[in-house]
Amino acid sequence: MVERKKGMMFVLSSPSGAGKTTLTKKIAKNNQNFSISISHTTRQPRPNEVNGKDYYFVNQDEFGLLIKDSSFFEYAKIFNNYYGTSKDSVLKFLSEGKDVLFDIDWQGTQQLKAVKGLSLVTFFILPPNIKVLKNRLLNRHGGKKNLIEERMNKFSEEVSHWKEYNYVVVNDDLEECYKNIIEIIMSEKKGVRKTQDTEKIKNKISELTQ
């Protein structure tokens, strides 16, 4: 019997609003072999979100039980809510030879990297500039100032983790950013790590955080 090749794991993290969810969904939609790891969260669904598709929406008690049962590869508290990646679906996807996409934060990425036997390729997504990021958040949150402020306040802390990632990609034009990520993924699937211009990345980071 021919052994089926195990899938690979690709993580996308970013400061809130930079576009990782949009990119993750686009990759999965356009490439049949990719499945998105659907996280559990205690946060309330946004108007367009569907339980079991965007997240598994659970209450604090349910989340606590999942922690107790060691159901998560990783979990974290973000903006006063809990988020976690359950082991079952990820392992099933991988055993079916599927590639798995993760839209998780830096805390989750650190924890996943520490799990023995998992091999990850990690992307950190940046916005082109702060003004664009604010506008994206304004659009997504219908102008709710407190939610936008909360996310902007976390920006520098989140960006400070960029060095923990294999690749840093700027999401200005969506198509261009998507193509860039796909190119990297295809290269990684062939076992080739692409090099990036670290100086250029450092300049972008200091431009964004000054």
Question: From the list ligand ADP, ligand 5GP, none, which binds 134 (C-beta under 5 to 8 Å, kind-based)?
Answer: none
Contact stretch for ligand 5GP (CB under 6 A) within 97-105, 130-138, 177-185, 191-199: 97-105
Contact stretch for ligand 5GP (CB under 6 A) within 80-88, 120-128, 141-149, 163-171: 80-88
Residue among 40 and 140 whose Cβ is closer to ligand ADP: 140
Query: What is the C-alpha to C-alpha distance for residues 190 and 62, in angstroms, rounded to an integer?
Result: 40
Residue nearest to ligand 5GP (CB): 108
Q: Is 84 exposed, middle or buried (0-12, 13-18, 19+ CB in 10 A)?
A: buried
Q: Which residues contact 41 (CB under 8 A, 6 or more apart)?
A: 55, 56, 57, 58, 81, 82, 83, 84
Q: How many residues does the chain have?
A: 210
Q: Phi and psi dihedrals of 106, rounded to 5?
A: -65, -30
Q: Applying CB under 6 A, does 22 fall inside the site for ligand 5GP?
A: no
Q: Which residues contact 51 (CB under 8 A, 6 or more apart)?
A: 45, 57
Which residues here bind ligand ADP, judged by CB under 6 A?
Answer: 14, 16-22, 136, 139-140, 171, 174
Interface residues with ligand 5GP (CB under 6 A) are 16, 20, 39, 43, 74, 76, 78, 83-85, 103-105, 107-108
